[in-house]
Amino acid sequence: MKTVADLVAQGVAGRTVLVRSDLNVPLDGGVITDDGRVRAAAPTIRALAEAGARVVVTAHLGRPKGAPDPAFSLAPVATRLGELLDTEVTLAGDVVGESAQAVVTNMADGQVALLENVRFDPRETSKVDAERVALAEDFATLVGQHGAFVSDGFGVVHRKQASVYDVATLLPAFAGDLVLSEVDVLRTLTGDPARPYVVVLGGSKVSDKLAVIEALLPKVDKLLVGGGMCFTFAAAQGGQVGGSLLEKDMIGTCERLLAEAGDKLVLPTDVVAADDLKAPTVTDVLPVGEIPADRMGLDIGPESVRRFAGELASAKTVFWNGPMGVFEVPDFAAGTKGVAQAIIDSDAFSVVGGGDSAAAVRTLGLAEDGFSHISTGGGASLEYLEGKDLPGVTVLSTGGNTP
């Protein structure tokens, strides 16, 4: 893959460079609650601007329905990005329309502009190739004859979308530093990782993680399972899980996985259970398979944390994706925090697989530098580990539109 360093070496002063970043941050009343993705995107943008490029950033936020929606505007992101870059970041009022054209036309060397949410244009996520290509052509026209494209949004490289894939077939295409670092880390995990290699998986549903479980089981030394999906495994072992999250149609699959995995698969032995998630009046610790009908399991228990920590203590490589419980609620955060701290305390090369896990690190006040790498792309990370093709990486690896 050609890199940002290669692009800068060519000379970018006076050129317009389109950068696809992942700025899909959580908002609460228009306020960014976790700016991790903005901070991760800033270095590549800064490097290009300092080299004299006119940097035009495109990104999405949330899932608008192919039309402008003020609730999904990138305005708060433009403000935060400007603070991190210590410069004004102009926000265009549209994706590739009159406002975007005016903003780009009036840019000077070293300036940064942000286009409005790319998913306001229905062509971005269209399943029709010609529609996506039409938007990519508009991007190419926007940056002009000497323009270039930098892919730096790792969280979207598993999507065959106009601003991720198609534009790379039309413009000289380069991998941003963030994408390069993410791919390098994941290659370490899929190559010959130092052993013991321990994977920690959480999250709500077995069905969401089935493909990665099946892909990783032959490769890991231990697979620790927490989160809501542990209850389907408990049911597969004949346990009573009360009102806990349960995928009845996955019980048979869990039975098969348990039989195939042997002692590789490590499940919680106890859970923190309550009568209600939002307003619990009764909270206690119960064996994972002995939850009464009027309770639900909402976090792994202290014995499970100690057991998981014991497995992690000797690990040399760790990959973690998915919280151990409903960490956003203080009563059910101890499991996630305890397991995360055990990863920090280990001597392992440790990778946090993006998504809710990365959010948990920051929400729970854990030291980010305690992990070797915190990914910005949960879905992309999992698909890479599953062995799936990542279109936004493949198009760069095969040359894209080679300059």
Annotated binding site for substrate: 22-24, 37, 60-63, 119, 159
**Annotated catalytic residue within 93, 110, 239, 379:** 379
H or E element, residue 241:
strand 240-241
d(CA 214, CA 371): 25
- Cβ atoms of 288 and 242 closer than 8 Å: no
Annotated binding site for ATP: 209, 297, 328, 354-357
Q: Is 295 a catalytic residue?
A: no
**By C-alpha distance, which of 313, 319, 314, 309 is closest to 188?**
319
> Quick one: 187 exposed, middle or buried, by C-beta within 10 A (0-12, 13-18, 19+)?
exposed
Nearest to residue 255, comparing CAs of 233, 226, 222?
Answer: 233
* Active-site option among 203, 226, 355, 392: 355
Closest CA to 109 of 79, 87, 94: 87
Does 37 qualify as catalytic in the annotation? yes
14 as an active site residue: the answer is no
Instruction: Measure the N-to-C terminal CA separation of the chain; round to a whole number of Å.
Output: 12
CB 55 within 8 A of CB 78: no
> Does 370 qualify as catalytic in the annotation?
no
d(CA 98, CA 121): 14
Distance CA 392, CA 135 (A): 16
Rg (CA), the chain: 23
Q: How far apart are the C-alpha atoms of 116 and 207, rounded to whole Å?
A: 34
Residue 131 CB burial class (10 angstroms; 0-12, 13-18, ≥19): middle
Q: Check 39, 46, 205, 264 and give the catalytic one.
A: 205
Candidates 2, 15, 37, 307; catalytic one: 37
Catalytic residues: 37, 205, 355, 379
